[in-house]
A = this chain, B = another copy of it.
Amino acid sequence: MDIIKTIEWKDNKVIMLDQRRLPHEELYNTYEDYLGVAKAIKNMVIRGAPAIGVAAAMGTALGAMGIGVENFDEFFQKLSAICDRLGETRPTAVNLFWALARMKACAQLNKELPIPEIAEKLKEEALKIYTEDLESNHMIGRNGEKLLQDGMTVLTHCNAGALATAGFGTALGVIYSATNAGKRIHVIADETRPRLQGAMLTAWELQKHGIEVTVISDTMMGSLMKQREIDACIVGADRIAANGDVANKIGTYQVAVLANRHGVPFYVAAPLSTIDLDIKSGNDIPIEERDPKEVTHIGPIHITPDYVKIQNPAFDVTPAELITAIITEKGVVEGPYENSISKLFN
């Protein structure tokens, strides 16, 4: 089932599929130090909240191997600096900070061990984060596939698939589980400007799994919903607030508004590591503003006139009221989300 190797730990190196080259080229990059991993996250060689979390953990483990000190306090100071550097890459996906916090806690927990053994423990922790994410995704898939019926057409935005996670995917994991259960699902992938993850990644990944996929421009989903050609929407998440507000790829909010108007269920699929109980509502989630060049250019093609003003927020917030259900590895929850989400953590 795991046709796609998004990220892998091998011979004390990190290997990533360079997602900027898809769909036309499958190129794997090898990283031997944490700075390379930080750059890869920032430049979106790897993207998707859970995958970013795994990459940050593996980056920390790589960094820990290179800290040449014998005293724990000194070691931890350097480890914290490594985590800070990795944490500067992308502000919105909470899995990044969650993974870094877990790596630091692991070091603290093993502070009595000799430094090389702590580094070994950190490597194990990173691999554990990887494996747990993979397992979570399979659980999300099993929990979510019950919401899909044979013959449905499902819209997804951006990429929340194997490429966005340790493997299998969250939103696309639900679709994979449904098709594994014998249901025929037709997926509409909107292209997801500016970075085109829908057209370039989701379409590629679904084709690779033999699932019927149609690509549309981001301007077309409303018209399709009006014609009752979409039965459900499923997206991933970059951060979920305690009240159920969901930060996800820019444009998610519009999909949710349109789904709401047309009575189409709107599902969010994400592991618990994406839920940030410290954030009360979506208003408090930091939204990354990215390079205007993502909007003005597509590859080398300059589409706008020179010197035009640009806005390029990478994420938006969908209020909980527009979300039919959140699909997690611990179960499917509905609103009011303050209660149902807090119960997931008990």
Docked complex Cα distance between A249 and B220 (Å): 10
Docked complex Cα distance between A94 and B258 (Å): 28
Q: Does A276 make an interface contact (CB < 8 A)?
A: no
Docked complex Cα distance between A251 and B258 (Å): 12
Docked complex Cα distance between A213 and B311 (Å): 11
Docked complex Cα distance between A193 and B301 (Å): 14
Docked complex Cα distance between A316 and B220 (Å): 8
* Per-position binary interface string of chain A over residues 304-346, scored 1 when its CB falls under 8 Å from any chain B CB and 0 otherwise: 1101111111001100000000000000000000000000000
Closest chain B CB from A236 CB (angstroms): 15
The 6 closest A-B pairs by CB, nearest first: A219-B251, A222-B254, A223-B316, A23-B305, A193-B217, A214-B309
Closest chain B CB from A196 CB (angstroms): 5
> Which of A84-92, A165-173, A198-206 interfaces with chain B?
A198-206
Q: Are A316 and B226 in contact (CB under 8 A)?
A: yes
| CB interface residues, A 162-221, toward B, < 8 Å | 191-194, 196, 199-200, 203-204, 207, 212-221
List B contacts of A303 (CB < 8 A).
191, 196, 199-200, 298
Assign chain A's interface to a size class: 35 or more
Closest chain B CB from A191 CB (angstroms): 7
Partner of A257, one of B220, B222, B249, B301: B222
Docked complex Cα distance between A313 and B220 (Å): 8
* Per-position binary interface string of chain A over residues 277-317, scored 1 when its CB falls under 8 Å from any chain B CB and 0 otherwise: 00000000000000000011011111111011111110011
Q: Does A10 make an interface contact (CB < 8 A)?
A: no
Knowing A298-B299, A316-B223 are in contact, say whether A23-B304 is a contact too (CB < 8 A). Answer: yes
Residue of B nearest to A296 (CB): B215
* Chain A, interface SS category: mixed
Closest chain B CB from A194 CB (angstroms): 5
List B contacts of A249 (CB < 8 A).
219
Closest chain B CB from A278 CB (angstroms): 23
List B contacts of A296 (CB < 8 A).
199, 215
Partner of A223, one of B200, B216, B298, B313: B313
Knowing A219-B254, A258-B257 are in contact, say whether A301-B304 is a contact too (CB < 8 A). Answer: no
List B contacts of A304 (CB < 8 A).
23, 191, 199-200, 203, 215
* Given A213-B308, A214-B310, A257-B258: 20 more A-B contacts, CB < 8 Å: A23-B305, A191-B303, A196-B303, A199-B296, A200-B303, A203-B304, A204-B305, A207-B305, A207-B308, A214-B308, A214-B311, A215-B296, A215-B308, A218-B219, A219-B249, A220-B311, A222-B253, A223-B254, A298-B299, A298-B303
| CB interface residues, A 8-34, toward B, < 8 Å | 23-24
List B contacts of A299 (CB < 8 A).
298, 301
Residue of B nearest to A319 (CB): B226
